[in-house]
């Protein structure tokens, strides 16, 4: 016979792994936008005097799945720590940095200190999908 504490723990774990995830997911939607994509590195010539510190204060480290966004994308809901899927790329990236205000409809993929890899990546026009919280207008239409 199972002890009451063990039964409660199993129930809690089942609830946490199914119910909570679904509850959170229903509050979000994935949107798609076409953007210009390039790459950048933690080097002074591409950033500033502290090249591994991003706009919101995060310390960037090689291997992170991180992107910088042009500031106009903030108006579309891409904000700090927004999850982003980039067409043709593996995994989910997080918005950790912002670009100079001169850029529009653009993201940069963070490539650590691999300047050659960033150059080889080049520039592309790709679709990205990003996860945002539903707003009250979308809720009323569903």
Domains, the chain, in order of start with CATH, read: 28-133 (2.40.40.10)
Tell me the per-residue pLDDT of 23-34, one tens digit each, with 9 for 90 and over.
Answer: 567 889 999 999
H or E element at residue 19: helix 4-25
Alpha-carbon distances, residue 16 vs 4, 6, 28, 61, 132 (angstroms): 18, 15, 18, 31, 22
14: pLDDT strictly greater than 70: no
Residue 11 has pLDDT above 70, yes or no: no
The mean per-residue pLDDT over the stretch 42-68 comes to: 84
- Residue 43 is predicted with a pLDDT of 79
Position 24 scores a pLDDT of 64
Provide the percentage of residues in the chain whose pLDDT is more than 70: 76
- What pLDDT, on a 0 to 100 scale, did the predictor assign at position 136? 46
């Amino acid at each position: 016979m199972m002890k009451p504490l063990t039964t409660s723990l199993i129930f809690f774990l089942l609830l946490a792994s199914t119910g909570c995830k679904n509850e959170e997911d229903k509050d979000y939607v994935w949107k798609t936008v076409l953007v210009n994509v390039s790459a950048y590195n933690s080097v002074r010539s591409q950033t500033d005097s502290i090249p591994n510190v991003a706009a919101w204060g995060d310390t960037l480290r090689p291997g992170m799945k991180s992107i910088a966004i042009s500031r106009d994308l903030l108006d579309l809901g891409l904000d700090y720590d927004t999850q982003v899927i980039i067409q043709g790329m593996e995994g989910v990236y997080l918005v950790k940095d912002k670009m100079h205000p001169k850029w529009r409809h653009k993201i940069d993929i963070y490539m650590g200190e691999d300047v050659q890899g960033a150059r080889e990546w080049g520039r592309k026009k790709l679709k990205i999908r990003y996860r945002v919280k539903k707003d009250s207008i979308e809720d009323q239409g569903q």
